[in-house]
């Protein structure tokens, strides 16, 4: 008879997510994952089958965790300009309890160029966020909050690139004042 699991799988995935977020996929060793999750190698491999399986689950967890509040903001009834400003402000004010940067951005740089599965996951996530940003911009254009003579999708891509750049800057040590200035400048460009 199989022995029941004596750990919280969700907590282990969350801890692994933070380890990958901090160090990247390649630089996170199995021992790092054992330390982060508090699990032994056999528990990790019996539950997740491989480092890659655990990474994939951690990345999906990150995407779900980070996208939910983003979509809540973008789907709200607030004026579009306010919704976009809130998204940019949140990017500038990442909690100090989280690793710097963004697991998605880090993974795009590290894995997407040579890993088709990671690239597909990251592309699908990016398209979903672009769609939500585009819809918000289009809403703002209809309401007169943004100029209607610019392509809403191009503006959404600009915002995505700005937020990604903010995440990279944060990982490089940029302080909150610098990130806020970037967010404010982006809002003035809209």
CATH of the domain at 152: 1.10.357.10
Q: For residue 49, is it within any domain?
A: no
Q: For residue 17, is it within any domain?
A: no
Question: For position 5, what pLDDT does the model report?
Answer: 53
Q: For residue 6, is it within any domain?
A: no
Q: For residue 37, is it within any domain?
A: no
Q: For residue 44, is it within any domain?
A: no
- What's the pLDDT tens digit per position in 48-91? 999 999 999 999 999 999 999 999 999 999 999 999 999 999 99
Q: What whole-number distance in Å separates Cα of residue 178 and Cα of residue 58?
A: 29
Handedness of CA 78, 80, 81, 87 (dihedral sign): positive
Q: For residue 97, is it within any domain?
A: yes
Q: For residue 67, is it within any domain?
A: yes
51-74 and 30-37 helices, crossing angle to 10°: 60
Low-confidence ranges of the chain (pLDDT < 70): 1-7
Q: For residue 128, is it within any domain?
A: yes
Helix (H) or strand (E) holding 141: helix 116-142
Per the structure, the count of domains in the chain is 1
Q: What whole-number distance in Å separates Cα of residue 171 and Cα of residue 19?
A: 14
Show the domain range for 168.
Answer: 61-189
Question: For position 96, what pLDDT does the model report?
Answer: 87
- pTM score above 0.85: yes
Question: For position 94, what pLDDT does the model report?
Answer: 87
């Amino acid at each position: 008879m199989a022995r029941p699991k004596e750990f919280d799988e969700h907590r282990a995935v969350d801890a692994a997510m933070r380890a990958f977020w901090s160090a990247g996929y390649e630089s996170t060793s199995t021992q790092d994952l054992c330390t982060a999750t508090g699990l032994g190698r056999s528990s990790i491999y019996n539950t997740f089958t491989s480092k890659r399986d655990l990474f994939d689950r951690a990345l999906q967890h990150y995407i779900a965790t980070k996208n939910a509040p983003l979509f809540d903001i973008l789907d709200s009834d607030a004026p579009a300009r306010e919704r976009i400003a809130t998204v940019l402000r949140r990017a500038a004010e990442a909690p100090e309890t989280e690793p710097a940067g963004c697991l998605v951005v880090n993974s795009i740089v590290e894995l997407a160029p040579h890993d088709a599965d990671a690239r597909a996951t990251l592309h699908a996530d990016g398209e979903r966020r672009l769609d939500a940003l585009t819809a918000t911009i289009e809403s703002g254009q209809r309401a007169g909050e943004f100029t209607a003579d610019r392509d809403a999708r191009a503006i959404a891509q600009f915002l995505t690139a700005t937020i990604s750049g903010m995440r990279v800057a944060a990982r490089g040590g940029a302080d909150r004042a610098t990130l806020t200035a970037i967010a404010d400048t982006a809002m003035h460009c809209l």
